[in-house]
Amino acid sequence: MGSTIILSRIFWSVAPFLLLAALWQFASLWFPPFLFPSLVDVFRRVFQILVDLGQFVDVLATVGRILAGLFGAFVLGGLLAVLMNRSPGVDRFISPILTFFQGIPALSWVVFAIIWFHGIEFRIFFIMVMTTLPAFTFQMIGALQAMSKDLFEMVLSFRPTRLQMFRTMVLPAVLPEILTAWKVNLGNAARVVVVAELVGATGGVGYQLLQQQQLFDMAGALAWTFQLVFFVLITQQIITMIERYAFRYRAVSERSL
């Protein structure tokens, strides 16, 4: 690929953001800072949060909550998916419940968690798991069902142990869908977590956002929001790199869609 093509590709991927930033900066000239603060101020705040450990621990706390919740939902969802995939009865029983859960707003879980539980961290964990569990489970069932029966039976014909079957067949077959599920759910979880932190957390991005709201500090609100956005961008990039390595076996067509 020529370097001009790469440059133009980079240009087009950042162009929309540049335009958005320009519009914002333009607005900041005409409106008071509590409505449209200058981006210079915003990025100074972003930088302050990154270098000040006292503030950065709030970001880390939120990231930890996202990852813990996702991991919990992933493990529980994986278990449910295997059970549901194995028995149509279990599937018929649990599927509607998960669908029902999908319709419950994150804020409702916040209320339930506050009423049911005491510990702040456990409340947050509970909310994160309940809000991401249905999607994770459905995605993993989909992955298991899409697994090739022909390949599965081929491996089976060598009479592997359960663990061998999992390692040589099931895991590589479902990995693409699992990584996609993580990408999708990371985005969801990053949006839910700040709501979950309303259960009384005294730290974290959600707590900080609430503070900025009380101070009418738009620059601060943006700076804290960007921390989460950056986290999502970085983790998704990491997953994309894992995908590029793990799925190098894939054939690529010289023509695209």
Residues of the shown chain interacting with another protein in the complex, contacts defined by CB under 8 A: 150-151, 153-160, 164, 168-169, 172, 247, 249-251
Residues 120, 126: Cα–Cα separation, whole Å = 10
Least distance CB 146 / another protein (angstroms):
14
Of residues 84 and 169, the one with the C-beta less far from another protein: 169
CB of 151 to another protein, least distance (A): 6
Using the minimum distance from each CB to another protein, give the nearer residue, 8 or 164: 164
When the beta carbons of 160 and 203 are compared against another protein, the nearer one is 160
CB 84 within 8 A of CB 90: yes
Q: Residue 160 CB, nearest distance to another protein (Å)?
A: 5
- Closer Cβ to another protein, 90 or 173, answer by number: 173
155 burial (CB, 10 Å; 0-12 / 13-18 / 19+) is middle
Among 58, 59, 69, 60, CA closest to 192: 69
**Phi/psi at 128 (5° precision):** -60, -45
By beta-carbon proximity to another protein, the closer residue of 80 and 169 is 169
- Where are the strands (E) in the chain, listed by range? none
Could you tell me the CA-to-CA distances from 256 to 8, 240, 249, 250, 252 in Å, in that order? Answer: 19, 19, 18, 14, 9
Q: How far is the CB of 194 from another protein (least distance, A)?
A: 38
